[in-house]
Amino acid sequence: MDPLHLPRINGARLWQSLMDLAGIGATPRGGVCRIALTEADRKGRDLVVQWCREAGLEVRVDEIGNVFARRAGTDPAARAVATGSHIDTQPSGGKFDGNFGVLAGLEVMRTLNDLGIATRAPLEVAFWTNEEGTRFTPVMMGSGVFAGEFDAAFARAQTDLDGVSVGAALEAIGYRGAQPAGEVPGGMFAAYFEAHIEQGPVLEAAGLPIGVVSGALGQQWYDVTVTGMDAHAGPTPLALRHDAMLAAARMVDTVNRIARDEAPHGRGTVGYLQVTPNSRNVIPGRVDFSVDFRNLSQDGLDRMHAAMQAAFEDIASAAGVEVGIRQVVKFEPCAFAPDCVDSVRRAAAALGLPHMDVVSGAGHDAVYVARRAPTGMIFVPCKDGISHNELEDALPEHIEAGANVLLQAMLAHAR
Amino acid sequence: MDPLHLPRINGARLWQSLMDLAGIGATPRGGVCRIALTEADRKGRDLVVQWCREAGLEVRVDEIGNVFARRAGTDPAARAVATGSHIDTQPSGGKFDGNFGVLAGLEVMRTLNDLGIATRAPLEVAFWTNEEGTRFTPVMMGSGVFAGEFDAAFARAQTDLDGVSVGAALEAIGYRGAQPAGEVPGGMFAAYFEAHIEQGPVLEAAGLPIGVVSGALGQQWYDVTVTGMDAHAGPTPLALRHDAMLAAARMVDTVNRIARDEAPHGRGTVGYLQVTPNSRNVIPGRVDFSVDFRNLSQDGLDRMHAAMQAAFEDIASAAGVEVGIRQVVKFEPCAFAPDCVDSVRRAAAALGLPHMDVVSGAGHDAVYVARRAPTGMIFVPCKDGISHNELEDALPEHIEAGANVLLQAMLAHAR
């Protein structure tokens, strides 16, 4: 098809909606603080719901506060083609993380309304409760309940630091719905697409507006404790030390080496490290640190796990210290549905938008939804790869391009 | 001389005095908390002064609270041969650090009294104010003022966290003396010896009761800041990271390598390290850490400094981060007087006590006193090399051996 004849979303309207929503919980430095199930979240939800109703969509809320807004299709038997993301933010979050995916979905509906295009299948735009996990854990709570990872009663019983439960917070903001989580009128989504800023630097470095997301890296996180013996830095010769800091430093370097051995998809990060007693002239007796391993295959994660265990034992033995390793988080790698990934790739190609296949290094609601429905994701670049930060930024032309790809991909499944 | 005919100190009396003094500020776990210029310090000082007076010694107090107790000699023109250490402790200190040196000196006096031995030169035992530096900085305050490193007015103006000055605290406990610091009746010490627990593991590992201390390592301490860029651990491929933790880990390993290159006296320690933002799944944007380098020669310290600068720059450049290095502490290496070191070695040999030459990795009052008078030190083992800890411990036979070496070394200079 000639790309000039494809329907296009209204980039200016989408951008304005992003800026309007970002006004709720706006921070002085240009970011957004709209933490899940707060009063700010209620205001944000109310605004998006109002926009959905103005677009003629039918709004449902489920028992964990996920919101779905449906544009009817022409075939009563067709299952919905859905999109969505989240509108909750980190405490010093940005305007685009999550919000882009939700408002791009709304913009698809508005565009189809403007152009008078009916689809065979119903279309839905969803926003999922508490993706960020800032106030309540676990993260990706709403989509996790939808997918059956947690049950709704468990999620509603989670409490914040003040002892307020998710259930009470949902009541307080008026978003505890009646619909059982995971039920979709007419049957589970025929397809689900989520547009999102990349939250990484790959697309920007490659100079491309569209990332075709083939899947999400699996994650295995660990707590590591290295135990040596505190001693005076001065009187203790190197050979008689049990230096937990030295051993931990070598382990940190090894985490990086193990990840490099799994190029291009291996990731290894030590983000947290705590030294005890942490005094200038005392050889540290204990260091605690985190390891975050990611890879695209479970085999790869298994190799990383085994390599870490062997290397850490060797390092500890050489340094005269003990090491304990405890796995604390596991997310399996996720391959998105080839059919949906192809739809995203074809949509970008049809629109003449330069694109590349990428993987998601972070978790997204789409990773849980993929357990229930064929799923794909669309990434657009963000400035310097930064998110979860008030500096998070994206270019209007990339936002527009991503929403156009979403429109084409949804139409491919819904027409 | 046949070692059987040498005079010997009374080991049981010395041990009992150590235990009695340790009763003042005793902690439930067997340690001592007698922080400089507190009420507990006053009680400890009063007890030691009382013991000195009971031994017929003449007690002087100088303007910074250093206490000197003199046993008269037979030659009115002879300068004193002195010993001493400190009786203040860390908040969770032990019974021996400092206290051993002071009470060993007192035991030397008591022994000479018992045996009716007169010396040509006067003998003195000193205890120096605020060696530990726990409540007031700088550390080794009293001996530092005595040596002219700081002036008395500066030291007296230092305040604790409650704003109480050293001067006011000295008044409060009744230990602001009249004697100008650094003045010794009859002229500066002819020699100064300090007996001390090793505070390290070398003698214990070697199975020897006596260390002949040839000098003290010089120290150069640094604050290092590594600046990268915070980023999401998941979406950021290794090649696009600016990982301050990874660079810092390599620097910690390098500090150890630089010290190993300066064997046997090179020491390199990273005791303090702080990660920002210190979150499991965020690549650290900043790491601050300390470097403590020690060596027996200034040339050696200069080589370590240069090696660190070059290596840190290379590591930073390879990791795409910036590094800043700031020197914050410098103590020059100290070689004790060969004559005094020989006296200690000969005393151990004469007593048939196995011994080895060692260096002091930590600072001691003797290092300051060495600027004014020929100085030597005697080390005895401590259990597991532990000090500054309630677990600090030493064997009665080692305590006795160290005091006998002190007696012989002092007599060699005072007879």
pLDDT given at position A3:
65
pLDDT given at position A389:
85
Who among B263, B272, B363 is closest to A280 (CB)?
B272
Interface contact A278-B263, CB threshold 8 A? no
Are residues A155 and A83 both part of a single domain?
yes
Interface contact A249-B249, CB threshold 8 A? yes
Interface contact A200-B236, CB threshold 8 A? yes
Who among A229, A232, A252 is closest to B245 (CB)?
A252
B249 in contact with chain A, both atoms CB, cutoff 8 A = yes
Please give the Cα distance from A200 to B228 (Å, whole number): 15
Interface contact A231-B283, CB threshold 8 A? no
Could you tell me if B88 and B40 are in contact, meaning their C-beta atoms sit under 8 angstroms apart? no
Are residues B57 and B88 both part of a single domain?
yes
Say what percent of chain B tops pLDDT 70.
Answer: 99
B51-91 residue pLDDT tens? 999 999 999 999 999 999 999 999 999 999 999 999 999 99
A403-414 residue pLDDT tens? 999 999 999 999
Two tokens, residue A171: 């009541």
Count how many domains chain A has: 2
Burial of residue A164, with CB atoms counted within 10 A of its CB: 0-12 exposed, 13-18 middle, 19 or more buried: middle
pLDDT given at position A135:
93
Are residues A211 and A83 both part of a single domain?
yes
Chain CA centroid to CA A336, Å: 14
pLDDT given at position B2:
59
Are residues B163 and B23 both part of a single domain?
yes
Please identify among residues 154-213 of chain A the ones whose CB lies closer than 8 Å to any CB of chain B. 198-202, 205
A256, closest residue in chain B (CA to CA): B246
pLDDT given at position B390:
87
The answer, yes or no, to whether residue B291 has pLDDT greater than 90, is yes
Chain B residues in contact with A271 by the CB 8 A cut-off are 233, 245, 275, 278-284
The answer, yes or no, to whether residue A1 has pLDDT greater than 70, is no
Length of chain B: 415
Chain A residues in contact with B360 by the CB 8 A cut-off are 234-235
Helix (H) or strand (E) holding B58: strand B58-61
The CATH number of whichever domain residue B406 belongs to comes to: 3.40.630.10
Are residues A318 and A387 both part of a single domain?
no
Burial B218-241 (b: 16+ CB within 10 A, else e): bbbbbbbbbbbbbbbbbbbbbebb
- Provide the residue range defining the domain that includes A272: 218-331
Nearest alpha carbon to residue A112 among A6, A224, A186: A6
A112-168 residue pLDDT tens? 999 999 999 999 999 999 999 989 999 999 999 999 999 999 999 999 999 999 999
Interface contact B249-A250, CB threshold 8 A? yes
Residue A11 Cα, gap to closest chain B Cα (Å): 26
Interface contact A245-B294, CB threshold 8 A? no
pLDDT given at position B339:
98
Which of B293, B315, B331 is where one domain is finished? B331
A262-309 residue pLDDT tens? 999 999 999 999 999 998 889 999 999 999 999 999 999 999 999 999
Interface contact B235-A362, CB threshold 8 A? yes
B311 in contact with chain A, both atoms CB, cutoff 8 A = no
Are residues A52 and A163 both part of a single domain?
yes
Are residues A238 and A171 both part of a single domain?
no
Please identify among residues 318-377 of chain A the ones whose CB lies closer than 8 Å to any CB of chain B. 360-363
- List, in sequence order, every residue forming a beta bridge with B300; answer none if it has no partner: none
A335-371 residue pLDDT tens? 999 999 999 999 999 999 999 999 999 999 999 999 9
Are residues B283 and B410 both part of a single domain?
no
Residue A6 Cα, gap to closest chain B Cα (Å): 32
What string of DSSP letters covers B159-174? B-TTS-BHHHHHHHHT
Are residues A182 and A277 both part of a single domain?
no
Are residues B11 and B108 both part of a single domain?
yes
Residue B14 Cα, gap to closest chain A Cα (Å): 25
Are residues B8 and B152 both part of a single domain?
yes
Which of A331, A364, A379 is where one domain is finished? A331
B248-280 residue pLDDT tens? 999 999 999 999 999 999 999 999 999 999 988
B11-27 residue pLDDT tens? 999 999 999 999 999 99
Could you tell me if A233 and B267 are in contact, meaning their C-beta atoms sit under 8 angstroms apart? yes
The CATH number of whichever domain residue A265 belongs to comes to: 3.30.70.360
pLDDT given at position A390:
87
CB atoms within 10 A of CB B214: 19
Which of A331, A363, A391 is where one domain is finished? A331
Chain B residues in contact with A282 by the CB 8 A cut-off are 271
Chain B residues in contact with A266 by the CB 8 A cut-off are 238
User: What is the band of A386 on the pLDDT scale with cuts at 50, 70, 90?
Assistant: confident
Mean pLDDT of B216-235: 95
The residue behind tokens 């830095």 is A233
The answer, yes or no, to whether residue B8 has pLDDT greater than 70, is yes
Please identify among residues 281-310 of chain A the ones whose CB lies closer than 8 Å to any CB of chain B. 281-284, 290, 292, 294
Nearest alpha carbon to residue A322 among A290, A285, A293: A285
Are residues B42 and B101 both part of a single domain?
yes
Residue B219 Cα, gap to closest chain A Cα (Å): 9
